Amino acid sequence: MQVILAEHAGFCFGVQKALDKVEEELQKHDHVSTYGPLIHNPQVVERLAQQGVQAIEDLHTANPTRVVIRSHGVGPEVYSCAEQRGFTVIDATCPFVKKVQKAAQRFTDQGYQVLVAGDREHPEVQGIVAWTGGKALVVANQKEAEALNLLGKVALIAQTTLKESTLREISQALHQKELQVEVENTICSATAKRQEAAQKLVEQVDVMVVIGGRNSSNTKKLAQICQEAGVPTYHIEKPEELDCHYFKNVQKAGVTAGASTPHWIIEEVVQRMSEWNQEENENKEIATEQEAAKVEEEVTSQDVEMEDMGSSFEETFKKYEEEHKKYEEGQLITGEVVKVSYDEVLIHVGGKSEGVIPRREIAPRVPENVEEIVKVGQKIPVIVLRAENEDGTLLLSRRRAIEKEKMVSLKEAKEREEILTGEVVAAVKGGLRVDIGIIGFVPASHVERGFVENLDQYVGQTLRMKIMEIDDQRNNAVLSQKVVLEEEYQKARKETWGEIEEHQKRRGTVRRLTDFGAFVDLGGVDGLLHISEMSWGRIKHPGDVLKEGDLIEVYVLKVDRDKEKVSLGLKQVLPNPWDTVAEKYPIGSIIEVTVVRLTTFGAFAELEPGVDGLIHISQLADRRVNKPEDVVAVGQQVTVKVLDIKEDERRISLSIRAVQDDQEQEEVQSYLDNQEG
Ligand code: SF4
């Protein structure tokens, strides 16, 4: 997806000027108020509120203070009231709005019925009407103009943010009537430029994002223009409102912003959209170039606007420029932390200049708690992302300053083929994001030596990696753990083949279990531990004895270097129970055993794991037995007498019959003893 920013978007001259005035006031005075919210942008208003700027709704009741009249302007009665109540007025009415107010007053004085094309609820329109002593009529659209019943001469002026087409339609409707119509197009060029740019852009894209306050008249009009072009349009106030579903199957997305939208919000929106963009970096460049071109044009455009406004503005502008040091995009500077909030950090960078670090630009990993990362008063290096020339507010990044510094050591690490460690911070499509001072990327195929099905299991783990690619322009690094593991594997393999001999005891890790045994990693060489070599006793499955990952000691039974095969034993490193049978089961002793197998000539019984004895068919009972299963069953516990032990042959002869004979003998003896007694 390509993200394209409109040629003209964001803060206009008038809004910027109003903000400048408030900032100036804040530097000189403790208490600053605005008459109503300074601009129709909740984020900016909130930021100002955090700096202590209060919005006054009613001058009649508020305590007198220094009050800034916002760019929308007000009627003459507001100035009078402020003066009477002892307010100090700082007039930030946009010069373009002032021009409309003056036109309205002049036409009224000349006996015209003034018609203001615009939104009668908008404070700017209400202020304009007030300058006619309330005589002006407000016309919202062509229909309302057609319904007017007027005579004589009328003067049509417009709200500065009105759509050009609406003014044209109203004008045409008035010209249909028998009226003397004077039309003065008072639509502000900044508004017109944003609307034209939006119109131009919407024709090239599949989806439009319009940024600005929901109650911002000019933003709503931009959204309306885009919607009317038949392109899906999303009006958002802040970057968090973006939804990636907006951009499903979208090739090109356009971004525009109302005149009250600051550049740092636009920047964040473009950045977020670019992150969903597979050609992220390429598109960032496009957006940046367009933004740069836009800023340049905006400055030129404002120069023209300033010429219109007269020399006093030029002087103010010059003074302003002198007071504000210029910074270049990409410049590394040091600033002092002035304020820390959840969303951003305010930085003083010298002179009158301040900058903002959005939350996502504070550290390589977006912090949970910004205050744990930076503290008020701390001096930190930052990189200028966007030079906001008009008011000196810069868009800054601490993250990129850290990354820039880190890239130096990472480049050296790559040259030295150093192994780096880094925590996995996220599993994303196609790989893992790891924190190595910057956020690097490990492709899924470079996580392990083999295929990895579930990448989520690595989140929070620390990997050892080497850098495969590094891009210090974009602060990117692609890493591989597989390379490290493969090198270690090959080294260990070589060493193991060099050392391994039959009859050795070695340590290894159970790598894989099968029905017939286990593969044990001896260090780059896998040996087969057959199930029959796992225990002196009987086991049904290798899992009865081992599990994958177990570190065990094994006995090397056989080494075949040609076929690269190693056979292992486990029971050989365990105590052999036959070594102690004579001691534990002396001949003549009576013991409990378990029948484990039947044959035609008798039954085998287990004394302990790995030690079986035979109960011959003739010893199964004190009578003749045709088949062993007639008297015993597998799993049955029986009492036997140890008749004989041949340790060398690993044979033990057992007898049930002898036990019965002994019992009988005892009973007879007992009877005889009683008789004699
Ligand atoms: S849109 Fe135009 S008239 Fe309105 S504040 Fe901005 S520059 Fe002034």
ipTM of the complex: 0.97
In a domain, 274, yes or no: no
Rounded alpha-carbon distances, angstroms, from residue 504 to 528, 558, 571, 577: 15, 10, 14, 21
pLDDT of residue 133: 95
Question: Tokens standing for 10?
Answer: 């964001």
Question: Per-residue pLDDT tens for 440-449?
Answer: 999 999 999 9
In a domain, 411, yes or no: no
pLDDT of residue 310: 45
In a domain, 238, yes or no: no
Residues with Cβ within 8 Å of 507's Cβ and at least 6 positions away in sequence, in order, are 522, 551, 552, 553, 554
Range of the domain at 138: 13-189
Amino acid, res. 387: A
pLDDT at residue 312 greater than cutoff 50 = no
Q: Is 202 in the pocket of ligand 1 (CB under 6 A)?
A: no
Q: How confident is the model at residue 293 (pLDDT cuts 50, 70, 90)?
A: low
Identify whether residues 511 and 632 lie together within a single domain: no
Identify whether residues 455 and 542 lie together within a single domain: no
pLDDT of residue 373: 87
Amino acid, res. 618: S
Mean pLDDT lowest among 341-345, 511-515, 631-635: 341-345
Identify whether residues 63 and 124 lie together within a single domain: yes
CA distance 465 to 441: 11
Mean pLDDT lowest among 225-234, 271-280, 473-482: 271-280
> 427 alpha carbon to ligand 1 midpoint, in Å?
46
Q: Decide: 4 and 204 in contact? Cβ < 8 Å.
A: yes
In a domain, 306, yes or no: no
Among 490, 550, 562, 549, residue whose Cα is nearest residue 524: 490
Q: Is 96 in the pocket of ligand 1 (CB under 6 A)?
A: yes
- Of residues 249 and 570, the one with the higher pLDDT is 570
Q: What is the mean pLDDT of residues 195-208?
A: 91
pLDDT at residue 322 greater than cutoff 50 = no
Q: Is 101 in the pocket of ligand 1 (CB under 6 A)?
A: no
pLDDT at residue 287 greater than cutoff 50 = no
pLDDT at residue 301 greater than cutoff 60 = no
pLDDT at residue 68 greater than cutoff 50 = yes
Question: Tokens standing for 264?
Answer: 């740092």
Q: Is 161 in the pocket of ligand 1 (CB under 6 A)?
A: yes
Domain termination residue (choose one: 524, 547, 573):
573
Identify whether residues 629 and 553 lie together within a single domain: no
pLDDT at residue 534 greater than cutoff 80 = yes
Q: Is 191 in the pocket of ligand 1 (CB under 6 A)?
A: yes
3-state secondary structure of 350: strand
pLDDT at residue 478 greater than cutoff 90 = yes
pLDDT at residue 498 greater than cutoff 90 = yes
Q: Decide: 39 and 45 in contact? Cβ < 8 Å.
A: yes
Q: What is the mean pLDDT of residues 236-262?
A: 87
12 in a labelled binding site: yes
Identify whether residues 347 and 423 lie together within a single domain: no
In a domain, 59, yes or no: yes
40 in a labelled binding site: yes
Q: What is the mean pLDDT of residues 181-199?
A: 88
In this structure, the residue with its CA closest to atom 1 of ligand 1 is 191
Burial level of 339, CB count in 10 A (0-12/13-18/19+)? middle
Identify whether residues 481 and 461 lie together within a single domain: yes
pLDDT at residue 556 greater than cutoff 90 = yes
pLDDT of residue 283: 44
Question: Tokens standing for 5?
Answer: 């920013």
Pocket test for ligand 1, best of 96, 164, 309, 317 (most atoms within 8 A of CB): 96
pLDDT of residue 302: 53
User: Which atom of ligand 1 is least distant from the CA of 94?
Assistant: 8
User: Which atom of ligand 1 is least distant from the CA of 96?
Assistant: 3
Q: Is 188 in the pocket of ligand 1 (CB under 6 A)?
A: yes
In this structure, the residue with its CA closest to atom 6 of ligand 1 is 14
3-state secondary structure of 638: strand
3-state secondary structure of 424: strand
* Dihedral sign (CA 618, 620, 621, 624): negative
CA distance 232 to 133: 43
CA distance 356 to 345: 6
Residues with Cβ within 8 Å of 186's Cβ and at least 6 positions away in sequence, in order, are 96, 99, 100, 103, 157, 158, 159, 160
> 188 alpha carbon to ligand 1 midpoint, in Å?
6
Q: What is the mean pLDDT of residues 580-607?
A: 95
pLDDT of residue 63: 87
Identify whether residues 113 and 84 lie together within a single domain: yes
Pocket test for ligand 1, best of 8, 11, 15, 195 (most atoms within 8 A of CB): 15
Question: Per-residue pLDDT tens for 28-45?
Answer: 887 789 998 888 888 788
Question: Per-residue pLDDT tens for 358-376?
Answer: 888 898 888 877 888 899 9
CA distance 484 to 373: 32
188 in a labelled binding site: yes
Q: What is the mean pLDDT of residues 84-96?
A: 91
pLDDT at residue 629 greater than cutoff 70 = yes
CA distance 232 to 202: 10
CA distance 57 to 47: 18
Max mean pLDDT range (122-126, 260-264, 325-329): 122-126
Cite the active site residues: 124
Q: What is the mean pLDDT of residues 69-94?
A: 92
Q: What is the mean pLDDT of residues 503-511?
A: 96
Question: Tokens standing for 472?
Answer: 């210090």
Q: Is 436 in the pocket of ligand 1 (CB under 6 A)?
A: no
CATH number for 128: 3.40.1010.20
In a domain, 552, yes or no: yes
- Of residues 456 and 27, the one with the higher pLDDT is 456
217 in a labelled binding site: yes
In a domain, 151, yes or no: yes
> 79 alpha carbon to ligand 1 midpoint, in Å?
20
Identify whether residues 470 and 378 lie together within a single domain: no
> 162 alpha carbon to ligand 1 midpoint, in Å?
11
Mean pLDDT lowest among 4-8, 242-246, 392-396, 541-545: 392-396
What are the beta bridge partners of residue 349? Answer: none
Domain termination residue (choose one: 518, 540, 573):
573
Q: Is 556 in the pocket of ligand 1 (CB under 6 A)?
A: no
To the nearest whole percent, how much of the chain has pLDDT over 90? 57
pLDDT at residue 5 greater than cutoff 70 = yes
> 260 alpha carbon to ligand 1 midpoint, in Å?
9
pLDDT at residue 511 greater than cutoff 80 = yes
To the nearest whole percent, how much of the chain has pLDDT over 70? 91
- Domain count of the chain? 5
Pocket test for ligand 1, best of 74, 157, 161 (most atoms within 8 A of CB): 161
In this structure, the residue with its CA closest to atom 7 of ligand 1 is 14
> 187 alpha carbon to ligand 1 midpoint, in Å?
9
Identify whether residues 51 and 156 lie together within a single domain: yes
Q: Is 261 in the pocket of ligand 1 (CB under 6 A)?
A: no
Rounded alpha-carbon distances, angstroms, from residue 183 to 179, 471, 502: 12, 58, 105
Q: How confident is the model at residue 602 (pLDDT cuts 50, 70, 90)?
A: very high
218 in a labelled binding site: yes
Q: Is 5 in the pocket of ligand 1 (CB under 6 A)?
A: no
CA distance 163 to 192: 7
Q: What is the mean pLDDT of residues 231-258?
A: 88
Identify whether residues 331 and 395 lie together within a single domain: yes
User: Which atom of ligand 1 is least distant from the CA of 71?
Assistant: 5
- In SS3 terms, 144-166 reads as HHHHCCCCCEEEEEECCCCCHHH
Question: Tokens standing for 259?
Answer: 């005149």
Domain termination residue (choose one: 173, 189, 205):
189
Q: How confident is the model at residue 164 (pLDDT cuts 50, 70, 90)?
A: confident
Identify whether residues 156 and 80 lie together within a single domain: yes
In a domain, 7, yes or no: no
In this structure, the residue with its CA closest to atom 2 of ligand 1 is 188
CATH number for 557: 2.40.50.140
Q: Is 13 in the pocket of ligand 1 (CB under 6 A)?
A: yes
pLDDT of residue 319: 54
Q: Is 217 in the pocket of ligand 1 (CB under 6 A)?
A: no
Identify whether residues 423 and 368 lie together within a single domain: no
CA 404 vs. chain centroid, Å, equals: 21
User: Which atom of ligand 1 is least distant from the CA of 18?
Assistant: 5
Q: β-strand 88-91 against 66-69: which pairing, if any?
A: parallel
Mean pLDDT lowest among 76-80, 334-338, 472-476: 472-476
> 420 alpha carbon to ligand 1 midpoint, in Å?
54
> 95 alpha carbon to ligand 1 midpoint, in Å?
8
**How confident is the prediction for the chain on average, in pLDDT?**
87
